[in-house]
Amino acid sequence: MIFTRRETLAIGAGAAASAFLPMQVNAAADDVIAAFTGGAEVADGGVDLNAPEIAENGNTVPIEVGADGATAIMLIATGNPTPGVATFHFGKLAGAHVAATRIRLAGTQDVVAIAQMADGSFKRASANVKVTIGGCGG
C-alpha cells in the first residue's frame, strides 16, 4: 500500500488523537464485577440507574440506584482508576431497595450498577455519563 503525503499526515494526526479517546472499560472494572458476582451470569435490566447524561461537575455526580428485591447493589465507575465505588446492602426489613449518592468520575465513562437478588441471581444496568470541559452554550 502506498500512502500519499497527505494521507500520511492524516494518519499521523489520527494516531495522536487516539490518546484522547474517552475512558474505556478497564480490566480492573471486570475484576471488581467478577469478585462481586463470583463469575455468575449477569442479566441486563431489572435495575434502575438514574444518572445525568452530562455531569454538571465531574467531581460530584449524583447517582441513584434501585432494584426491587435486591439484597445488595454494587456501583462501579468503569473508567475510574479505582472502579469500585460502593456496595449497598439491603436487609430483610428494608422499606425500599434504593440508594443515592454522589460519585467522582475521572472522565466520560459508563457507570454500572449490579444488583444481587434474593435468589442469588444478578442483574445489571449501565449509563454513559459525559464529563466535559463545557462552554459555548448557544
Partner 1 sequence: MISRRDFLQTTMAASALVGASGFGNWARLAAQQALTQDQLLDFDTFGNVTLIHITDLHAQLKPIYFREPEINLGVGAAAGKVPHITGADFRKLYGIADGSPSHYALTYNDFTALAQAYGRVGGLDRCATVINAIRAARPDALLLDGGDTWHGSYTCYHTQGQDVVDAMNLLKPDAMTFHWEFTLGSDRVRDIVGGLPFPALGQNIFDAEWDEPAEDFQPYQMFERGGALIAVIGQAFPYMPIANPGWMFPEYSFGIRDERMQEMVDEVRAAGADLVVCLSHNGFDVDRKMASRVSGIDVILSGHTHDALPEPVLVGETIVVASGSNGKFISRVDLDVRDGRMMGFRHKLIPIFSDVIAPDPQVAAAIDAGRAPFEDQLSEVIGRTESLLYRRGNFNGTWDDLICDALITQREADIAMSPGVRWGPSVLPGQDITREDIFNVTSMTYGKAYRTEMTGEFIHTIMEDVGDNLFNPDPYYQQGGDMVRVGGMGYRIDVSKPMGSRITDMTLLSTGAPIEPEKTYVVAGWASVNEGTEGPQIWDVVEDHVRNQGTIRLTPNTSVKVTGA
Give me the residues that bind partner 1 (CB under 8 A), please.
Answer: 9-10, 12-14, 16-22, 50, 52-57, 62, 100, 108, 128, 130, 132-138
Identify which of residues 6 and 92 has a Cβ nearer to partner 1 in the complex: 6
Identify which of residues 20 and 38 has a Cβ nearer to partner 1 in the complex: 20
CB of 121 to partner 1, least distance (A): 26
CB of 93 to partner 1, least distance (A): 26
* DSSP per-residue string spanning 69-123: TEEEEEEEETTSSS-EEEEEE--TT-S--EEEEEE--SSSEEEEEEEEETTS-EE
Identify which of residues 1 and 136 has a Cβ nearer to partner 1 in the complex: 136
> Phi, psi at residue 137, to the nearest 5°?
-75, 125
